């Protein structure tokens, strides 16, 4: 009985020794940077003196003037044309008066037929 306990204890110790492996230590890694200390210092000073973009109300300031390549008159004429055009997002858009289509019947013959119908004359077929 003592032998079986001894074998079991040896097996457990071997199992524990196999599972407890330490990581290797490579030492302190050297820092490799492309910028010099002076450049880092000037960048740090500039960052410390600039505004905090995450501060409360940082985006509520006056926006800078944007430059455009478009002429003022062209933008104005586009705005006027858009203001006078129909609103495609309005309720009932496209449900208005249909467009007048040109027909192949002469205007004079339509007028004569309308007068004849108003007088009660028989319409020509």
The pLDDT tens digits of the residues spanning 102-112 come to 778 888 888 88
Using a cut of 0.85, tell me whether the model's pTM lies above it: no
- What's the distance, Cα to Cα, between the start and end of the chain in Å? 126
Model pLDDT for residues 113-125, shown as the tens digit of each residue: 888 888 887 665 6
Find the mean pLDDT for residues 5-17: 73
CA–CA dist 29, 112 (Å, integer): 103
Task: Quickly list DSSP for 5-41.
Answer: HHHHHHHHHHHHHHH--PPPP--PPPP--SS-HHHHH
Q: What is the tens place of the pLDDT at every residue in 15-73?
A: 666 666 667 777 777 777 788 899 999 999 998 888 887 888 777 777 778 888 889 99
**Confidence category of residue 101, pLDDT binned at 50, 70, 90:** confident
């Amino acid at each position: 009985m003592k032998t079986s306990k001894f074998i079991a204890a040896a097996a457990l110790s071997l199992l524990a020794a196999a599972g407890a492996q330490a990581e290797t230590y490579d030492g302190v890694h050297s820092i490799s940077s492309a910028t010099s200390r002076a450049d880092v210092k000037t960048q740090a000073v500039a960052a410390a003196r600039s505004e905090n973009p995450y501060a409360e109300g940082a985006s509520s300031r006056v926006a800078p003037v944007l430059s455009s390549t478009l002429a003022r008159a062209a933008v104005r004429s586009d705005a006027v044309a858009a203001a006078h055009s129909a609103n495609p997002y309005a309720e009932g858009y496209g449900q208005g008066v249909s467009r007048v289509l040109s027909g192949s019947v002469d205007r004079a013959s339509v007028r004569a037929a309308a007068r004849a119908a108003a007088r009660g004359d028989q319409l020509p077929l």
